Amino acid sequence: MKDYYAVLGVSRHAGQEEIKKAYRRLARRYHPDVNRGDSEAAERFKEINEAYEVLGDPAKRRRYDLYGEAAGIPSVFERGFEGFGDPFGGLFDLFFGRGRTRTTHAPRRGSDLVAVVELTLEEAYRGVTRSVEVPRHMTCDSCGGNGVESGYALDLCPECGGEGRITHTRRSAFGTFTSSTTCRRCGGLGEINTHPCPRCGGSGTVEAVDPVEVEIPPGIDDGDRIRVPGKGEAGFMGGPPGDLYVEVRLAEHEFLEREGKDLRAVVELGMAEAALGTVVEVPTLDGKERLTIPAGSQPGQVFRLPGKGMPSLRSRGRGDLYLVLDVRVPRDLTPEQRRLLEEFQRLESERSGGKGWRERLRKAMRPQH
């Protein structure tokens, strides 16, 4: 990588005004008009302009300081991982494993986070806004995320001179061997942070609990996830933040059971109520509803209340509410109840006149000879 600071003869901590002055001075000296026919001066003039184009622009300079990226120049990142294949592989773990004092400057997207919220069925029915508190890493506002104390910049690694690799030469009876290894001082990045930001310790991020308001739409179901863009972990070294995923758990409801868009509930009736018919109040998510049970209703019989189910997330319209009848058979009867039921049974036998299912069964099971 061409060192633009060296080209302009200024230090890496030089202010914008100093860079401008250095450029003007050099540009005057090497200008083609005063060096006619001198190809070396022309080349130098081109170099000076290229350097100033980057360092003279604070935004481009910052990018150059951080990643070494400028017109056609491979980034520090690429150089650092040359020959290692997947740059996001194990090496990253190696550098990030160092914790807060790591020296990696390559930009990386922050991780996604998952938060679980428990909702009641009523909340899922109407939709709700929830404040979710997730401890997460946020970009350090003191250094803007680059981990360098304000007023300073990254320095060229003195160990490898910015190359990111160290070449060893070994002589033996068989000849000279050269090998190269990743620079341990800078982790192969060619630059080091000699002035870590005091607020974040050079990591570029600080951990904090930042409540995130999440809009949960009506109809949300157990296990559904809502993505809140940009509310995950902060990115590293200017990389974008990750996303927050809010996963919904539905608490069990006392009466209502959810089946997709539809709801189910059991309506329990006494034996006589089922036989005589009645009107019952049933719970719905809109409040109580009156349901007329006709005389002679059977256990397991289902009544449908259209549109009393859950709203749909993906389409308009609502599901239905299904009410399943359950008939309660009394366990201990008072003497009076017993007398009445026995009377009922006698009348019932008389009425069926031997055509009840028990008589039919007995006939069916009689030996055939």
User: What are the residues binding Zn ion (CB under 5 A)?
Assistant: 140, 142-143, 157, 159-160, 183, 185-186, 197, 199-200
CB of residue 196 to Zn ion, shortest distance in Å: 8
Q: Rounded to 5 degrees, what are φ and ψ at 367? A: -60, 145
- Diameter over CA atoms, the chain: 133
Find residue 138's DSSP bridge partners: 206
User: Would you say how long the chain is, in residues?
Assistant: 369
In the complex, least distance from residue 47 CB atom to Zn ion, rounded to whole angstroms: 24
Pick the closer one to Zn ion by CB: 157 or 321: 157
Nearer to Zn ion among residue 188 and residue 311 (C-beta):
188
Please measure the distance between the N-terminal and C-terminal CA atoms of the chain and give it in whole angstroms. Answer: 108
Please, what is the minimum distance in Å from the beta carbon of residue 12 to Zn ion?
15
How far are the Cα atoms of 82, 112, 119, 213 from residue 245, in angstroms, in the given order?
Answer: 35, 7, 15, 12
Q: Nearer Cβ to Zn ion, position 169 or 298?
A: 169
Q: Which of 173, 148, 201, 163 is nearest to 12 (CA)?
A: 148
Shortest distance in whole angstroms from residue 179 CB to Zn ion:
16
Of residues 100 and 346, the one with the C-beta less far from Zn ion: 100
- Least Å from the CB of residue 7 to Zn ion: 21
Closer to Zn ion by CB, 140 or 321: give it: 140
Least distance between Zn ion and beta carbon 72 (Å): 23
Residue among 234 and 265 whose Cβ is closer to Zn ion: 234
φ/ψ of residue 300, rounded to 5: 90, -10
Nearer to Zn ion, 136 or 308 (CB): 136
- Please report how close the Cβ of residue 197 comes to Zn ion at its closest, in angstroms: 3
Nearest-angstrom CA–CA distance, 221 and 106: 40
Dihedral sign (CA 113, 116, 121, 122): negative
- Which string of DSSP letters, residue by residue, matches 316-358? SSB--EEEEEEEEPPSS--HHHHHHHHHHHHHHHHHHTT-SHH
